[in-house]
Structure 1
Amino acid sequence: MTSVQQIDSILQRAADGGRISPDEALLLYTDAPLHPLGEAADAVRRRRYPDGIVTYLIDRNINYTNVCVTACKFCAFFRAPKHAEGWSHPMEEILRRCGEAVDLGATQVMLQGGHHPDYGVEYYEELFSSVKQAYPQLAIHSIGPSEILHMAKVSGVSIEDAVIRIKAAGLDSIAGAGAEMLPDRPRQAIAPLKESGARWLEVMEVAHQHGVESTATMMMGTGETNAERIEHMRMIRDVQDRTGGFRAFIPWTYQPENNHLKGRTQATTLEYLRLIAVARLFFDNVNHLQASWLTTGKDAGQLALHMGVDDLGSIMLEENVISSAGARHRSNLQELIWMIRTAGRIPAQRDTLYNHLQVHWTPADDPTDDRVTSHFSSIALPGGGVGKALPLVEAH
């Protein structure tokens, strides 16, 4: 069989819902023609979501501290303990931001922060329970395995104990934060003080076993090889075969400003789109695939809708971490809906569980609130912007 015939055969099997191996995924990623690759991925999307609906979310990323002991080389957000620019927000500030988010229609908050040397499980119990008590309608889709490992270490408890306790306090699901690259070589290169990829997945597996679902992410563009990108996906798929706890896969591209890597390597838009398509074909066991217009731009985000994507992520009312590394792409609710509609899809607002809250079948159904804009700061504000109301930046 020629390589062209081999690629066609793999694409056909994957499009029909068959499983492809990591080696086959790598061959598609490096050698498959772009349009047949996208068509196969879109065939999978159409079979899974024949109604043509593409979802979006309204949420807010709230950072409780920028103090962190991990010092990842790609991060522009963190400050070392005792640094003059380090800050931690009091609970009333966090709750104020939750209230602003609820007023703008948010259904989810993502509470994220650095690995503060003093923050054990008790801190997170108070954080989650306070938010849940004040705003029971908000889903707390927050932190990641790295924070769970850190809090367990600070408090001297097991991962399992930490998961059970923070779930009881109000944590609904775990963000895919901290995945970066899971294979050892690229992970060691960019985050030598972080847990291994295997350990990251182990925490996710424990959480899934206790009924706490999560998303899975991938940061591409820090010098990893094509084979390592596929290996990252294999590691996630293997865990998903056992637990079924990953709701979505969300690849995004490394942002080069204000960090130690300084953009020496970056992923191109084409590499990103090819990976999106391969991911839809490879993850026969993960329901949703999300495009990251925040890091790739809105044009690439819309193109991804033709590469198997069924979710455009969120209008983030606040985001400081990726934007402090250079992400400048803002959007608003009308624009996000326009991106979906002009791609020939039907927009729908979803919740954290991917339930449709409102489907905009026709333009007459579209929401008209022009306050719902991604207001993330282009650089993290002094003192973390305590007391500063939305918008954090002027939205144009």
Structure 2
Amino acid sequence: MSTTSMPAILDAVRQRALSDSEALALADYSDTAALAEVAGELRDRGYGGVVTYSRKVFIPLTHLCRDVCHYCTFAKTPKRIEQAYMPVEQVLAQVREAEKLGCKEALFTLGEKPELRYRAAREALAEMGFASTLEYLAHVAGRVLEETSVLPHINAGCMTDDEIAMLRPVSASMGIMLESASERLCEKGMPHYGSPDKAPAVRLETLARAGRACVPFTSGILIGIGETRRERIESLLALRALHTQHGHLQEIIIQNFRAKPDTKMASAPEPDLDELLWTIAVARLIFGAEMSIQAPPNLSPGVLPQIVAAGINDWGGVSPVTPDFVNPEAPWPHVERLAKETALSGKLLQERLTIYPRYIRDAERWLDKALRPRLLQAVDGQGMPRVDDWLTGQSDSAPDSDMALLRKERVAASRPIAAILRRAEAGERLDEDEIVQLFAARGDDFAAVCRSADRLRQQVCGDTVSYVVNRNINYTNVCYFKCQFCAFSKGKLSENLRGRPYDLSAEEIARRADEAWQRGATEVCMQGGIHPEYTGQTYLDILATLRAASPDMHIHAFSPLEVWQGAETLGLPLEEFLRQLKAAGLNSLPGTAAEVLDDEVRAVLCPDKINTQQWLTVMETAHGVGLPTTATIMFGHVDGYQHWARHLLAIRDLQARSGGFTELVPLPFVASESPIYLKGNARRGPTFRESLLMHAVARLVLHGLIDNIQASWVKMGEAGVLACLNAGANDLGGTLMNETITRAAGASHGEEVGPAEMDARIRAMSRSPRQRNTLYGEADPAQRERAARAESLKDVVNTPASKYERSKRGLIASG
């Protein structure tokens, strides 16, 4: 294929994968700048404005190796080392020190099966009670997992199926450098001569074994050791073929040879910068936008922006503790310096884990069952590491790093994010991919998304912050549904978690409603578990009791699940049941039971609950009979950004048809007492950045259709609410009087914030408070007066569930 066809090839790679013949044609094309231009476009498509790295500690478990690569200074003979293997306690001491410095990866590197060559290795292993180096490695990596929070990444060389199976439960990822697929380099006089484990077929078979075993794997090539450009491409194509078959290669490393003293290749020429940039660009063109392409930063000091421009998206592992034992002459750059050099290329340096996000998101396939809880606790919704200790419902302060970004005088959004924000501010419908990009925003992009949302909030709502004086009445915590996230509901006789099962009497429901009215409430919010003995008539009776107790109270009641179940138990069409509820006194519906409106998530989170379409049908039908509703999203558990995007679009599209949503309420998942979290099957809730972005992105996606975005002070805390009010939110929900569902899940923030305190908090945020009613009108003046002089709440009475009240009708009249 002639170079005259190269423009066509470069144009084609923007749309599709290159064929092998097209890729091989790149070997004769020397215009590195042209290659890098297209490679940079592909990298930006896959990774946007982020370049990642892993904060690691380097563990050289043994320097003994049976191979004799002519460029290597890592491998040593027994006479040149003090001990054959690092003792496990020495490893743990280094890992613990690294853990204190924020390291999340322990990179185990070692020579190839030295016991096959050296008696010293065999004797050392026998003395420790192990039959092989890899058996000892499995033991050490297991101890690291048990005793620290650091995740092992294992570079163990060539392995059998059994060895991979042995190491998989104790490592989050593994790797082996192919280096080259050229058999020529194994011939006499070439760098791999005398090194049986460097035979390309042997290494490729290990890579294939890892793929079949579903191990997230790292590989790559070493350039400048005598191979040709065509041979590099052949090596990359061999790796691509394996990845196409198994999908297990999480990154491809392009490592440039560095000549080292006291080796056979001490005087060999090193590849120049153009050679490195050319190879990086070609690797990107061959693997496309999605593959992570990495180049070690310590091997190319002073030219890192050029390397980024050639198409990499990752710097690999960088250690603040240990040197690069493979290239000891090349010190790691400090992370702060690496961040600055990355910024010079217009990119944000972002920490990642040793295992890449897409493999974490499909953990059942790619991770041993024992490792999944560790990974879930360590990551956010994208699969990136959590870098602060903020927890929903428990943290009183906001992370300094996020707040510093929000306070920056000037922020420069990347071109893709800036384009999306312009469309959102114009009221255009964003697509799923654009919304995902907004949720993934970090650094200046994160601040830009929040500021864009805040501009829209100012435009639509001004500086007024509203709230409603209300009371939550959760009439039963008995529920026959098995929602995995719920710490509130209980089986009929369950006494686990927080308190005994209860089922309120009609008299207690009426008493609470009357007390709420006397204390200035304009709304009661009624929700509970789905008691196995409840029917639709139960909900109608509850409304009758409330209306008798408090004729003028706004009744905001019954989730779509309760409505659906009520209609089914009475054998009524959904619309007819909703009309009956309205006639009985129902004023509006809460938008709960939504969790995340994506059935992929619901299948894990609440498999026996109504599905996405059923939830939307209840809401659309309610809007059709004149019952307005709120909308919610509970996020930060087993979901990802694409699920959040689908949820917001479902709400937006329904609102465009019906106009019945009054507000969106983001509900960050409170994990600590949630069953799914306690079982190790969910994350710890969203990060602070994600929680802010949910409010901001919701404002942007729903602009022009839903004006009110609510921040939950119970879940976000006072500092979090302040940040939300500067990121698109304009409402603080209710004063609550009683709140039990969030607290049952482990939240520690208060149960009631009265109007005086709410007003003071809002004014302290330099905003104007407004007490509203449920539908965002002005609160009744008489009720405002009552709220201002409200007495303390009386103790509640939770009727034990064993004394089931078959009738919810009461005779208490309003006081």
TM-score higher than 0.5: yes
Q: Report SS of the residue matched to 2:648.
A: helix
1:300 aligned residue (720, 733, 738) = 720
The structure-2 alpha-carbon separation of the partners of 1:206 and 1:368, relative to structure 1 and needing over 3 Å to count, comes to: closer
Query: Is 1:141–2:517 an aligned residue pair?
Result: no
1:53 aligned residue (456, 460, 464) = 464
- Please state how far the C-alpha of 1:83 moved relative to its aligned partner: 4.5
1:41 aligned residue (450, 453, 467) = 453
Kept in 1, the 8 Å contact 2:473–2:527? The answer is yes
Q: Report SS of the residue matched to 2:469.
A: strand
Structure 1 unaligned segments of length 5 or more: list them. Answer: 360-364, 387-396
Letter in 1 for 2:595: E
Please name the residue that 1:282 is paired with: 701
Query: Is 1:5–2:415 an aligned residue pair?
Result: yes
Instruction: Please identify, of 336-345 and 155-164, the stretch whose mean Cα deviation from structure 2 is larger.
Output: 336-345
Please name the residue that 2:591 is paired with: 176
- Please state how far the C-alpha of 1:116 moved relative to its aligned partner: 1.4
Distance in 2 separating the partners of 1:187 and 1:301: 28
Distance in 2 separating the partners of 1:47 and 1:372: 39
- Please state how far the C-alpha of 1:339 moved relative to its aligned partner: 2.5
Please name the residue that 1:362 is paired with: none
Query: Is 1:336–2:758 an aligned residue pair?
Result: yes
Q: Report SS of the residue matched to 1:356.
A: coil
Please name the residue that 2:106 is paired with: none
- Please state how far the C-alpha of 1:21 moved relative to its aligned partner: 2.5
- Please state how far the C-alpha of 1:55 moved relative to its aligned partner: 0.2
1:271 aligned residue (686, 690, 705) = 690
1:39-188 map, 5 Å:
39-50=451-462, 52-83=463-494, 85-188=500-603
Query: Is 1:346–2:768 an aligned residue pair?
Result: yes
Please name the residue that 2:659 is paired with: 244
Letter in 1 for 2:757: E
Bigger Rg over Cα = 2
Letter in 2 for 1:289: I
- Please state how far the C-alpha of 1:20 moved relative to its aligned partner: 2.5
Please name the residue that 1:217 is paired with: 632
Kept in 1, the 8 Å contact 2:522–2:779? The answer is no
Please name the residue that 1:391 is paired with: none
Kept in 2, the 8 Å contact 1:280–1:289? The answer is yes
Q: Report SS of the residue matched to 1:297.
A: helix
- Please state how far the C-alpha of 1:376 moved relative to its aligned partner: 11
Query: Is 1:312–2:723 an aligned residue pair?
Result: no
Letter in 2 for 1:278: V
Distance in 1 separating the partners of 2:451 and 2:471: 34
Q: Report SS of the residue matched to 1:56.
A: strand
Aligned length: 375
- Please state how far the C-alpha of 1:185 moved relative to its aligned partner: 1.2
Kept in 1, the 8 Å contact 2:441–2:449? The answer is no
Please identify runs of 4+ aligned residues in structure 1 that moved more than 6 A. none
Distance in 1 separating the partners of 2:477 and 2:559: 15
1:254-294 deviation line (CA, Å, top 9, x unaligned):
11233311264021111100111011000021121000111
Distance in 2 separating the partners of 1:21 and 1:89: 45
Distance in 1 separating the partners of 2:477 and 2:539: 15
**Percent of matched pairs sharing the same residue:** 34
Distance in 2 separating the partners of 1:83 and 1:7: 49
- Please state how far the C-alpha of 1:368 moved relative to its aligned partner: 5.2
Letter in 2 for 1:292: S
Instruction: Please identify, of 257-266 and 54-63, the stretch whose mean Cα deviation from structure 2 is larger.
Output: 257-266
Q: Report SS of the residue matched to 2:735.
A: strand
1:238-262 deviation line (CA, Å, top 9, x unaligned):
1111111111000111112333112
1:7-28 deviation line (CA, Å, top 9, x unaligned):
1122123234443333222212
- Please state how far the C-alpha of 1:297 moved relative to its aligned partner: 1.3
The structure-2 alpha-carbon separation of the partners of 1:370 and 1:162, relative to structure 1 and needing over 3 Å to count, comes to: closer
Distance in 2 separating the partners of 1:318 and 1:141: 15
Distance in 2 separating the partners of 1:83 and 1:306: 43
Kept in 1, the 8 Å contact 2:504–2:799? The answer is no
Scaled by the length of structure 2, the TM-score of the pair is: 0.44
Instruction: Please identify, of 290-299 and 6-15, the stretch whose mean Cα deviation from structure 2 is larger.
Output: 6-15
Please name the residue that 2:91 is paired with: none
- Please state how far the C-alpha of 1:196 moved relative to its aligned partner: 0.5
- Please state how far the C-alpha of 1:82 moved relative to its aligned partner: 4.8
Kept in 2, the 8 Å contact 1:115–1:147? The answer is yes
The structure-2 alpha-carbon separation of the partners of 1:220 and 1:130, relative to structure 1 and needing over 3 Å to count, comes to: same
- Please state how far the C-alpha of 1:47 moved relative to its aligned partner: 1.3
1:332-390 deviation line (CA, Å, top 9, x unaligned):
4333222321222100100011012389xxxxx9x8547579x999xx97849x9xxxx
Distance in 2 separating the partners of 1:62 and 1:370: 18
Distance in 2 separating the partners of 1:376 and 1:72: 29
Kept in 2, the 8 Å contact 1:163–1:207? The answer is yes
Kept in 2, the 8 Å contact 1:186–1:223? The answer is yes
Scaled by the length of structure 1, the TM-score of the pair is: 0.88
Higher normalized contact order (CA 8 Å, seq sep 6+, divided by chain length): 1
Letter in 1 for 2:474: N
Distance in 1 separating the partners of 2:580 and 2:472: 22
1:25 aligned residue (435, 439, 461) = 435
Please name the residue that 1:393 is paired with: none
Distance in 1 separating the partners of 2:792 and 2:466: 16
1:185-231 deviation line (CA, Å, top 9, x unaligned):
11111111101111111111111111111000011111201111111
Distance in 1 separating the partners of 2:734 and 2:673: 24
Distance in 2 separating the partners of 1:162 and 1:83: 31
Kept in 1, the 8 Å contact 2:663–2:709? The answer is yes
Kept in 2, the 8 Å contact 1:316–1:376? The answer is no
Structure 2 unaligned segments of length 5 or more: list them. Answer: 1-40, 49-413, 804-815
